[in-house]
Structure 1
Amino acid sequence: MDEKQPSWIAAHVHMYEYFGGVARILVPDNCRTAVDHNKGWKDQRINAVYQEMAEHYGTAIIPARVRAPKDKPNAEGSVGNISTWITAALRNEQFFSLSELNRAIRQKLEVFSHRPFQKKEGSRYEIFRNEELPLLSPLPATPYELAEWKQATVQFNYHISFAGMLYSVPYEYIKRKVDVRVTDKTIEIFYNHNRIAFHRRLYGRKGQYSTVTEHMPVSHQQYLEWNGDRFRKWSERIGASTYQVVDAILTSKRVEQQSYRSCMGLLKLADKYSVDRLEAACRKALSFTSTPSYKSIKNILDTGSDQIDLPDKGAATVSHTEAGKSSHALTRGADYYRR
């Protein structure tokens, strides 16, 4: 469809499938999709993705020299033959899809390959079958899958982000820059050229996590037997305010498992202070913020402020009639502020 890398790589994959084997050497032109840098014959740098494809098929890439068509004369000659026998033959036909055009090209190609030579015996197909096919290396078990390379920084939650999804790496690599190899099916993560993580690629709703247990710190692994629903059900038995606080803590982290320690600590406060006091402390904390933390609830219980009634929101408003009854009607007094 174009001369970009996906089309370039796909053409090679289809070529090998058609041949039923792999040539030991590839001799491409010096196009950008093949060579990144070329100042001379001795300084050629193969494109990283193209090199990876070659390694997958076990072949070597030796680009032709710039403006040196004799490096691949057979290929240059075939371009003219293909143009005459296939492209020109189809120039007056109309196609409504790429697959339809490819079928027509394939038919012309079969005729072209089996067409007898004019000055010698046999055909192109017979030469390929008898002389070249036995020399080809076998195809790998799976065809090469085009990969995209990205760089990412491991986040504090030992995950990297790609296309709105998060994938775990061993927690020791937090804050490190890693290389990410992405295909349609897989996510591979490398550090210093060593693969440290592998995931199936996620699709669908953004924000999904793929987390490997071994990547988690030991302190997080011990809570794997727990889950958010279990903490919610436990908190619901204590009271509505406790449930609301636990739900807020569970949704406060990008990885739910990272909030389990706080949930466990919060609910265990009921053993030390009683279920009623924990519920009262949660209710008091929710009057200040919709997202209380474990620490704020513990502070309320430690200071005993959960046992003091919440101030009436209407206490500061006194009618003119009530104010007239006492010269101190608008004064709350030291006891109020002592709370």
Structure 2
Amino acid sequence: MPAKRELTMRQIRYTLRLASEGISARQIGRMLGVARSTIQDNLKRAQVAGLTWPLPADLTDAVLEERLFARNGAPRGVRRHAEPVWRELVCELKRPGVNLMVLWEEYRAGHPEGYSYSRFCDLFREFEARLSPVMRQEHRAGDKVFVDYSGKKLGITDPATGEVRFAEIFVAVLGASSFTYCEASWSQTLPDWIGAHVRMFRALGGVPRLVVPDNLKSGVNKASFYDPEINLSYGRMAAHYGIGILPARPRRPKDKAKVEAGVRFAQSYILGRLRAQKFFSLAEANQAIAGMVARINDHIMRRLGVSRRHLFETIERPALAVLPDTDYEFAEWGFARVSLDYHVEVCGYFYSVPHNLIRAQVDTRATARMIEVFFQGNRVAAHERRYGGARHGTDPAHMPSAHRRYAEWTPERFRRWGASVGPNTEGLVTAILASRPHPEQGFRTCLGVLRLFRELDKTRAEAVSARAVAYGAFTYKSIASIIANKLDRAAITTSEPQAVMTHGNLRGSKYFH
């Protein structure tokens, strides 16, 4: 780039005319408002170029400038010193700890007569300005990955019904290498959003320092310029991988220019090339998308002369953090308040927590298999997730002692107790439970009988049970009366009862024939 001129071509022509008339450089400088040295420099340049007044009529300002300010006779646009390969420097600058000072020192080590640091920086910025706006952003290796949905959907046909269902396209672009990852998922909901991140990290073989999403509701509950509110489940996923979430500022598309460019590239490179294909499953579509993404990453970038995959393998991958031992298992986190029956509702079912947490607010974590409840960061309950059957899942350890004792009463338990005494007692228990409209209504009677039989040996308890069954005595009071009056010792008569007396007024059975 030519140096800034202190005199215009018109003023230089005026200077040459005045000098031809014998006016000194000092006087010309006063007339034009510049230093005498500036006038002398321009007159010397004219003398070297062989220019005298009057100038040729066809000499244009452009030609005049070229002849006066040519670089020691070198053609215009030719550098005076050896230059580095700027595109290689762009790649090197993405490595951790590398800056322009480091690159300039290496350049001067190989070219001692090369450019000064300031000129080196100017030339580098000139080259960088010719790159695309996305490439002009400075991203360190392993620092950021930009994620978003493309907005354009891919149709997938149901082979049974022929119905076309549209899938979303998830796009992720690494900052330093522009290495791209894409996949199709059915929706932008939280399970698909987090699942796409897990599969992306697995494909990259590591994790960057930051994830930069758009303000999608699945990831950001409340967008804010100063303090965005991250979705709790999304935040737990980030904590599992040890990464930070840095949402793009609202209405600031330049914050995620990387992924915006990646989205446009994906739309033309993937959707455009796959528009004629018909897919019958999500897996089939993702297999085709993977092939297109491989072509994107292997494509040689015109300005840099290398592919995204080359940059990723040589610069980005070594800078990524190590993946944890296990993939993150998606869990939907939420808040709940413990009701008076010491249960919380999660996904339409109720799960118990310790009864001393009644009315407390707790965190819930729902996975495909488990429901966990946390209070002040500590897990207080864990249940197998319910998808059908009874709506309440109750752990007896969570109950108050009175509730726990009642919950342990079951018909089977009372029958087992009766059988432990003898067959007659088992029969009595069965008869008591059967004599009630609902078996639970006989639990208290069975408990009373249990208390009465504690003071009896098994032989007498069996006799009492036999007497009670024979006479249909299925209440606590009647069984207590049999024991108190020692009726169990009397013989049990099974014949039909006889008339207590004979009288002339009593009619026999023959009267009715």
Aligned residue in 2 for 1:170: 354
Aligned residue in 2 for 1:2: 187
Distance verdict in 2 for CA 1:58–1:222, change over 3 Å:
same
Aligned residue in 1 for 2:416: 233
Aligned residue in 2 for 1:56: 240
TM-score of the superposed pair, with normalisation by structure 1: 0.69
Report deviation, 1:111: 1.8
Counterpart CA distance in 2 for 1:249 and 1:178 is 40
SS of 1:43 mapped into structure 2: coil
1:92 aligns with 2:276: yes
CA offsets per residue over residues 267-290 of structure 1, 9 Å max, x none? 2422347445567399545xxxxx
Distance verdict in 2 for CA 1:266–1:221, change over 3 Å:
same
Contact 1:189 1:198 in 2 (8 A): yes
Distance verdict in 2 for CA 1:186–1:111, change over 3 Å:
same
Distance verdict in 2 for CA 1:53–1:300, change over 3 Å:
farther
Aligned residue in 1 for 2:296: 112
Contact 2:372 2:379 in 1 (8 A): yes
Choose 1 or 2 for highest CA Rg.
Answer: 2
Aligned residue in 2 for 1:132: 316
Contact 2:445 2:476 in 1 (8 A): no
Counterpart CA distance in 1 for 2:366 and 2:431 is 39
Report deviation, 1:166: 6.0
Report deviation, 1:2: 2.0
Aligned residue in 1 for 2:454: 271
What does 1:195-274 correspond to in 2, within 5 Å? 195-202=379-386, 205-206=389-390, 209=393, 211=395, 215=398, 229=412, 231-236=414-419, 237=423, 238-245=425-432, 252=440, 266-272=449-455, 274=461
Distance verdict in 2 for CA 1:160–1:109, change over 3 Å:
same
- What's the C-alpha RMSD, in Å, of the aligned pairs? 4.2
Q: 1:15 aligns with which of 200, 203, 206?
A: 200
Report deviation, 1:177: 5.1
Q: Which moved more, 1:218-227 or 1:270-279?
A: 218-227
Counterpart CA distance in 2 for 1:33 and 1:226 is 46
Contact 1:152 1:180 in 2 (8 A): no
Distance verdict in 2 for CA 1:8–1:252, change over 3 Å:
farther
Counterpart CA distance in 1 for 2:222 and 2:345 is 31
Distance verdict in 2 for CA 1:161–1:69, change over 3 Å:
closer
Contact 2:464 2:483 in 1 (8 A): no
Counterpart CA distance in 1 for 2:402 and 2:374 is 25
Counterpart CA distance in 2 for 1:251 and 1:208 is 21
Aligned residue in 1 for 2:44: none
Report deviation, 1:58: 1.4
**Ranges in structure 2 where 5+ consecutive residues have no aligned partner:** 1-185, 488-504, 507-513
Aligned residue in 1 for 2:231: 47
CA offsets per residue over residues 249-303 of structure 1, 9 Å max, x none? 99749xxxxx8x9866642422347445567399545xxxxxxxxxxx5455557
Contact 2:415 2:430 in 1 (8 A): yes
Distance verdict in 2 for CA 1:175–1:275, change over 3 Å:
farther
Report deviation, 1:125: 0.9
CA offsets per residue over residues 212-262 of structure 1, 9 Å max, x none? 75x466789999999864531332521434124468899749xxxxx8x98
Distance verdict in 2 for CA 1:19–1:210, change over 3 Å:
farther
TM-score of the superposed pair, with normalisation by structure 2: 0.48
Distance verdict in 2 for CA 1:250–1:266, change over 3 Å:
farther
Q: How many pairs are equivalent?
A: 290
Counterpart CA distance in 2 for 1:29 and 1:138 is 25
Q: Which moved more, 1:15-24 or 1:217-226?
A: 217-226
